Structure 1
Amino acid sequence: MLAERGWPLVLPLLLVAGLFLAASWFGLFRLFPDWARIAAVIAFGLAALAALYPLHAFRWPSATEIDRRIELANRLRHRPVTTQTDRPAGSADDFSDALWREHQRRLAEGLGALSGDLPRPRVPERDPWALRALVPLLLVVGFAFSTSPYGGRVGDAFRPHAATGAVPARIDAWVTPPSYTGKPPIFLTAETNRGQEGFEVPAGSEVSLRVTGGSGEESLSFRAAAAPEGADMTATADGEAARPGVSQFVYRLREDGTLSLMTGMRELDRWAFTVIPDQPPRIAFVEEPKRAVNGTLELVYEIEDDYGAASARAIIKQRASPPENARPLYEAPDLPLSLPRRGADENRAKTSRDLTEHPWAGVEVGMRLAAVDDAGQEATSEDKTLVLPERPFTNPLARAVIEQRRLLALDANRKARVLALMDAVTLRPEDTFDAMAHYLALVSARERLALAGDDDALRGVVDYLWEIALGIEDGDLTAAEKRLRAAQQALRDALENGASDEEIEQLMAELREAMQEFLREFAERAARDPNMAMQMPQNGEELRRNDIDRMLDQIEDLARSGARDKAQELLSQLQNMMNNLQAGRHQRQQGDGQQSEMRQQMDKLGEIMRRQQEMMNETHRLDQMRRGQQGQDPGERRGQNGGQRGDNGEQGQNGQGGMSAEEFAEALRQLQQGQGQLRGELGELTNRLEGMGIQPGQGFGEAGEAMGEAGEALGEGQGDRAVGEQGRALEALRRGAQDMMQQMRQAMQGEQGGSEEGGRQQNADRDPLGRPRATTGPDFGDSVEVPDEIDVQRARRILEAIRRRLGDALSPELEKDYLERLLQLE
């Protein structure tokens, strides 16, 4: 009875709600303009209120109505259910009461099998055409349609969609690789990339995405390529609203996969990425660690990394195990390494560090190189054993001071031994010291050592002993030399650490002042010491002040233009030049006759190589002339011959003139004779070198054979073959010359007593810039290459353009970030 009475009253409200849901799921509210959408919502609201009005007529069934419905449902006669609650009318007596109770009993006997009844709301009587069935049908179809890309939602009725429908959402997506890779950003939504199926990006790249004018319900999801099909997408983050109507997303790529931009269940766009992993670096020695001519430790190595290493260093350890109770005062030298320029074709780098002042100088150590890339991956090289270069001291007293300094620095427990040795040295000062100042300095150091109670005080004594040794060895020049070295080291550190132009300018000014003071004191010392003046560099090594000023100007220009690696290399050349100048004070004129003979042989070899080059050029010219004449008809060749002979009476240059067969044969015969003569001179040179104790290498033998083959080819008229053999002979001569020069250096080092003095003599035949002089034979092209002024000006203009663009307030933030990364790479 409740269903019969309530269902017809509730049904209008349910029909209105069903029509509203169907209209929302079909997306009708998204298609309506705002005024129509609002009007439809109001109409549905009024209809819902109207459907609620019939509910006021609802009445709860009474007990009598319930009993009567049971009798009608079971088709009971004489109303047996209601009789059970009825009472007789009128006055009651015993007989009538007994009769009524008997009547109730008899009617109650038929109530044992009662049943309920189905509700009969009589809705079809009110809707004979069954229009109400359309609403459930629309609900089912609308719900299925809502899952499609064009389906709607219930909230569309209460959200304005006029702007969204008029202008589609704008999607901007780009990938920013890590700054250390040097890779430019990739704009995924650019026209050129829209049809690309996948993108290769470095590991750690960030995908940035911006949606302008969207619904605000966009989300970014990533599915790894290794995930099984059908696996749930991993959501990266909810959209971050930069301002109304704009959503931004950022995702860092670490593995291969697909990135999808979704709005609800609909996919707006997707991109597939292949992540390129960052490979670990590799570092290895290219040459053995060696002592440079200026006493610095020189390391030549190569570093390979896919994006360039971030840092590198040399790890140094003592080769000999110290005693168990040893107490060293100093750790191993800290030796950071220079890095190859990123993007350069050459992976080789070179580092020179002056460790002669470090207490470990002269100690046998083990060294290995370590490189770290920007991803934190580290690689090490093989171990090398070497003795750290030390400054050579010619004064015996200075050498003794340095030896005690090393003992104390490596083990503070040997303090008593150092004190005893100092006492022994200062026992008879008149026999040991040439200057009383040296004696007083050493006695002062002895007292400071005796009173030192901790490691800091002991380290102060070690530093003081170094100053004493320098004073004994170099005298008044030490202060200027120390200032010059400090200025050079400060400038080198600034170039490596990317200092500003203002700081570079200040350091250059300090270097110029230190250089002027050093040269002035050095010149005064040379004027006072005639022996030193005789040992000054001669001929091609003459040093002029304007040469140094030009080098300093060039270093400053290179630093300002961004070519700081070239500036560091040129600064090292300047330091080598200064140290070579200082080293001249310690050189002795030994073996001048033999060195002069060696220089003559090198000059002879250079002359042979020059003549071989000219002969090869002449052979090539004649061969090209012959080929050109063979490709012409006789009449044309005669015309060319006559025309040129009429102009100048002889052959033109570069194969422009004509030659008869007899003239060509005569020219080849002369070349053959010249080739044979050149081969003979090479044999004589080889015999002279053997007489000087220098064993000619295989290069000279190969050159002689190639010269013989070239002579035979010239005799047979085979110009092409002759040119090839002459080129082979020239290359073999270069190899032989390099081998001969190496043997000469070793011979001079052996005569001058050890690697320390020999290291100074290696560049004795070079100009102040370290290049071979014209009198020492051929230049093999291994001198330093300095950028010309065109490169410097171009680099400076590029830097100024970048900085000017950065200063523009209207430049996009993305462009500013990219330009800042460019400046950091420089």
Structure 2
Amino acid sequence: MVLERLWPLALPVLLAAGLFVALSWFGLFRMVPDTIRMAVAGLFAVAALAALYPLRFFRWPARGEIDRRIELANRLDHRPVTAQSDRLAGKDDDFAGALWREHRRRLAASLGTLSGDLPHPRVPERDPWALRAAVPLLLVVAFAFSASPFGGSVGDALRPHEAVGAAPARIDAWVTPPAYTGRPPIFMTAEANRDQTSFRVPTGSEVSLRVTGGSGEERLAFRSSGADEATEPETIEPAVAGTPVRSGVSQFAFRLAENGTLSLGSGSREVQSWSFDVIPDMPPEIAFAEEPKRAVNGTLELAYTIKDDYGAASAGTAMRQEEAPAPGARPLYEAPEMPLTLPRRGGKDTGAQTSRDLTEHPWAGADVVLGLTAMDDAGQEARSEEKSIKLPERPFTNPLARAVIEQRRLLALDANRKPRVLDLMDAVTLRPEDTFDNMAHFLAIRSARERLAMADEDEELRGVVDYLWEIALGIEDGDLTAAEKRLRAAQQALRDALENGASDEEIERLMAELREAMQEFLREFAERAARDPNMAMPQMPQDGQMLRQNDLERLLDQIEELAKSGARDKAQELLSQLQNMMNNLQAGRQQRQQGSGQQSEMRQQMDKLGEIMRRQQEMMNETHRLDQMQRGQRQRGQDRGEQLGQGEQREGQQGQGGMTPDEFAEALRRMQEGQGQLQGELGELMDSLEGMGIRPGEGFGEAGEAMGEAGDALGEGQGERAVGEQGRALEALRRGAQDMMQQMQQAMQGDQGGSEEGGRQQNADRDPLGRPRATTGPDFGDSVDVPDEIDVQRAREILEAIRRRLGDALSPEIEKDYLERLLQLE
């Protein structure tokens, strides 16, 4: 009965509220101007107040009304429910009382099957067309629509139009991959990427997003591909010291570690979203390319391959003694560390080589287990297989020096053996007049003995170990090893500078130090060779290629030029070749004697062929230059004739910066004579080869024919045809030279060199410096991979352009970061 009376009175209020909520969810208040929004909100407020007025007519049902409703609902006659609470009227005598009680008992007997009744608010009588059902239908549809990007909320009617979560005025979003990947940033909101919603980026990339002119309610959320709930990253405000955060600007950053979707929302709606396919960073791989070996000068050489997605960040070695040290041993030195040279980032070649002199380390000569390690910029580490080797040690021929080194090794590997070392020193210095030729050595060992006796701390003991090494070197080689050490230090410093991207000024300074150290080393090496006839230098072939001053200077100049032009990988290769040359020179590998007159004559013929090829190359370049100059002058003459309206040019007129026709004719005549002379020399060379029993190949005949055609073309003034014939002649000369070299090698097949124990195998076609020998024919320029001059110049121009762009104060900061990464890759 309460519902019957309350529902018709409360229904207008509910209908008004439902219609208001439905219109809010449909986003009506977001779409209309503020005036209409406030007017509609006011109408709903008035309607709500008017709908509350009928509620004042509500009355709770009385007890009698409830009893009567029960009787009507159960269709009871004689009002049995009401009779239960009625009282007997009139005088209460015994008969009347008994009769009344019997009457009530009979009526109560009919109340055992009472049932309730449903409410009957009688709303259909007031709304026969059921217009009230439209409001619930609108609510259901509006609720589903509110989850869309264009849906609204109930509070929109109370918020000003500017504060409604409208689309931000400007969204800038970009992805910055980790610097070590070398990949450029991706601007997701750029015009080229505006329609793209999926991006493939490396793991660890940072997504940066800036919203300008928004409502301030923007939120950034990331949902992982395998997660059901989105997690909100931390909001990052502009972090400029002393500058307040601007109103209407929001900035976010999020680091991607897995696949997922990043969405930008404003209020309850999503503004924009991007999905990311994260490229995992695979761990590096490192392996031995060759067996570790000892170089001729005792350095340890390692050849290996390193593979990684973006290039390894560092690599090194892991060593341990093959035999475990004695229990309670106290070694003074850890295993030697050997940083490895890394392949060029982004290059196809994954191989690299590293050589290092470990002969000074106390572990030299010990049997160790060697492994390689590599780590990338993501912190992932890789290890190679382990190999058992014996660390190279410096050979000492002087018995006294060997004794000092033995004492040094004992002390370095176990400080507890200090008493044993002291006893050995006393034994060595017991009879100095019979043991020492130089009393300075005796004094040095006694000094080391006293220092060892007073040393207690490990640092003091290590000082004694270093001192013993210096004593042994002084006994064995005098002052030569100081120059050698300085040379190696200069080479290592330059190598480190090339790997770390040092400035041009630093490279120039280190190159000067390397030149000075090399001069000192060669000078002292020559002085020692003059004093000691048993050194290897006098045993070198007298007719082979010798080390000359200009050879070293030219190689050093190439290294410096390549380093300054940006081709630092090529500079490192040349530096490694220079180090190998010096290793070969120091080791003094003995080579076979080649003194036969026939072989000497063969070398003379190969030198003559190399000279013919060089002159043919220079002649072709000069012919091409003259032809281009003549074409340019002819073109300038035509342009001048068109401007002046003349039909012909004055004969003999000289072009700007050119030559007269007479001068051109004279130059071509001289070129023709030179070409004929060169053809004659080639014929003499072919006759000499036939006299030596070597049959000239078809290439020489084709070269002579091409030289003749080139001479005829020069006589006719056809520069372009002459250049073509000269190029054909040069190519034919190369083929003929290769055929001649094969025949000569067959003739000298019985004179191949061998190998030397403890070092690398001596190739028969290399001189002591590791260069092609003269007996193998002319050097065609492919023994050392050096970029052409135009490549070097082009690289320098690119570097200068990058540096100028970096110096521009108006360049964006993101562009500067990218250019700096390019310079680091160089």
TM-score (norm 2): 0.70
Gaps of 5+ in 1: 621-643, 658-662, 684-703
User: Residue 3 of structure 2 contacts residue 119 of structure 2 at CA under 8 Å; is this kept in 1?
Assistant: yes
- Indicate whether 1:237 and 2:248 are aligned: no
**Aligned residue in 2 for 1:678:** 689
Give how far 1:306 is off: 3.3
Deviations 1:47-91 (A, max 9, x none): 323333333332222223323434455566665544443445566
**1:188-217 deviation digits (Å, cap 9, x = unpaired):** 343334556865444444444555566746
1:617 & 1:821 partners in 2: Cα distance? 41
Gap change, CA 1:408 and 1:681, over 3 Å in 2: farther
CA distance in 1, matches of 2:571, 2:420: 47
Q: Which residue of 2 aligns with 1:445?
A: 448
Match runs of 1:266-305 below 5 Å: 268-271=272-275, 273=277, 275=279, 278=282, 280-285=284-289, 289-291=293-295, 295-305=298-308
The structure-2 alpha-carbon separation of the partners of 1:266 and 1:526, relative to structure 1 and needing over 3 Å to count, comes to closer
Equivalent pair of 1:260/1:269 in contact (CA under 8 Å): yes
Number of residues of Structure 1 aligned to a counterpart in Structure 2: 744
Aligned letter for 1:134?
A
Aligned residue for 1:341?
A: 344
1:309 is matched with 312
> Is residue 66 of structure 2 the alignment partner of residue 66 of structure 1?
yes
Looking at structure 2, the residues matched to 513 and 670 of structure 1 have their Cα atoms a distance apart, in angstroms, of 46
Change (3 A) 1:607 1:578: closer
Q: Secondary structure of the equivalent of 2:352?
A: strand
The whole-number CA distance in structure 2 between the counterparts of 1:172 and 1:452 is 68
Structure-1 separation of matches of 2:183 and 2:363: 43
Question: What whole-Å deviation, never above 9, does each CA across 1:288-324 have from its counterpart, x for those lacking one?
Answer: 634155x543444443333212222234455677777
State whether residues 4 and 119 of structure 1, in contact with CA within 8 Å, keep that contact through their aligned partners in structure 2: yes
Alpha-carbon separation, structure 2, partners of 1:432 and 1:757: 36
Report the counterpart of residue 638 of structure 2 in structure 1.
Answer: none
Distance 1:737 1:467, change over 3 A: farther
> 1:689 maps to which residue?
none
CA distance in 2, matches of 1:38, 1:481: 92
Matching of residue 425 in structure 1 with residue 420 in structure 2: no
**Matching residue of 1:158:** 158
Which residue of 1 is the match for residue 804 of structure 2?
801
Corresponding residue for 1:36? Answer: 36
Does residue 443 of structure 2 align to residue 434 of structure 1?
no
Q: Flag the 1:728–1:716 CA change in 2: closer, same or farther, 3 A.
A: closer
- Residue deviations 1:463-501 (CA, integer Å, cap 9, x gap): 111111233344466666656655655555455455678
Letter in 2 for 1:681: M
* Alignment partner, residue 354 of structure 2: 351
Deviations 1:537-566 (A, max 9, x none): 99974549x987x99898778767766556
* 1:281 partner letter: E
1:470 paired residue number: 473
Percent identity over the alignment? Answer: 56
- Aligned residue for 1:350, secondary structure, equals strand
CA contact (8 A) 2:566 2:796 kept: no
Tell me which amino acid in the other structure corresponds to 1:33. Answer: P
1:269-295: per-residue Cα shift (whole Å, max 9, x none)? 4546373663643443358634155x5
The residue type paired with residue 689 of structure 2 is L
425-434 vs 565-574, greater mean Cα deviation: 565-574
Show the counterpart of 2:818: 818
Q: Kindly indicate whether the alpha-carbon contact (under 8 Å) linking 1:314 and 1:334 is maintained by their aligned counterparts in 2.
A: yes
Alignment of 1:371-386 (within 5 A): 371-380=374-383
Q: What does residue 720 of structure 2 align with?
A: none
Quote the offset at 1:131 in angstroms: 3.3
Q: What pairs up with 1:618-637 in 2 under 5 angstroms? A: none
- Aligned pair in 2 of structure 1 residues 301, 453: CA closer, same or farther (>3 Å)? same
Give the residue type in structure 2 aligned to 1:782: S
Q: How does 1:576-615 map to 2 (within 5 A)?
A: 583=586, 600=600, 603-604=603-604, 606-607=606-607, 610=610
Distance 1:315 1:219 in 2: 46
1:177 counterpart letter in structure 2: P
Offset, 1:41: 2.6
- Greater alpha carbon shift after TM alignment, 530-539 vs 72-81: 530-539
CA distance in structure 1 between the aligned counterparts of 2:175 and 2:517, rounded to whole angstroms? 55
What is the letter of the counterpart of residue 62 of structure 1? Answer: A
- Asked if the contact 2:156/2:164 (under 8 Å) is kept, the reply is no
Q: Cα offset for 1:408?
A: 4.1
Amino acid at match of 1:235: A
Distance between the aligned counterparts of 1:487 and 1:244, measured in 2? 58
Secondary structure of the structure 1 residue equivalent to 2:279: strand
Offset of residue 26 of structure 1:
2.2
Q: How many angstroms does 1:16 deviate by? A: 1.3
2 CA distance for matches of 1:534 and 1:55? 126
Could you tell me how far apart the structure 2 residues matched to 1:648 and 1:32 are?
A: 92
Q: After the TM superposition, which residues 648-687 of structure 1 pair with which residues of structure 2 at under 5 Å, given as runs?
A: 678=689, 681=692, 683=694
Kept in 2, the 8 Å contact 1:258–1:270? The answer is: yes
Unpaired runs of at least 5, structure 2: 238-246, 621-661, 707-724
Structure 2 distance, partners of 1:708, 1:763, is: 25
Q: After the TM superposition, which residues 7-406 of structure 1 pair with which residues of structure 2 at under 5 Å, given as runs?
A: 7-73=7-73, 79-87=79-87, 97=97, 114-127=114-127, 129-162=129-162, 170-194=170-194, 199-209=199-209, 216=217, 220-222=221-223, 224=225, 233=228, 235-237=230-232, 240=235, 242=237, 244=248, 246=250, 248=252, 250-254=254-258, 268-271=272-275, 273=277, 275=279, 278=282, 280-285=284-289, 289-291=293-295, 295-317=298-320, 328-363=331-366, 365=368, 367-380=370-383, 388-393=391-396, 395-406=398-409
User: Which residue does 2:645 correspond to in 1?
Assistant: none
* In 1: Cα distance, 2:152 partner to 2:429 partner: 103
Q: Kindly tell me: are residues 124 and 763 of structure 1, through their superposed partners in 2, closer, same or farther at Cα, counting changes over 3 Å? A: closer
**CA distance in 1: counterparts of 2:683 and 2:274, whole angstroms:** 74
> How many Å separate the matches in 1 of 2:157 and 2:302?
76
Contact kept, 8 Å, 2:480 with 2:524, in 1: the verdict is no
1:596–1:374 distance in 2 versus 1, CA, 3 Å: farther
1:381-408, CA deviations, whole angstroms, 9 ceiling, x for partnerless residues? 5666665444455545334433443454
**Paired residues of 1:83 and 1:104 also in contact (CA < 8 A):** yes
Quick one: structure 1 residues 818 and 425, their matched pair in 2 at CA, closer, same or farther if it must change by over 3 Å?
same
3-state SS in 2 of match to 1:240: coil
Give the 3-state SS of the residue equivalent to 2:375 in structure 1: strand
- What is the RMSD of the two structures over their aligned residues, measured on CA atoms? 5.8
**Partner of 1:633 in structure 2?**
none
Verify the 8 A CA contact 1:709 1:722 in the aligned structure 2: no
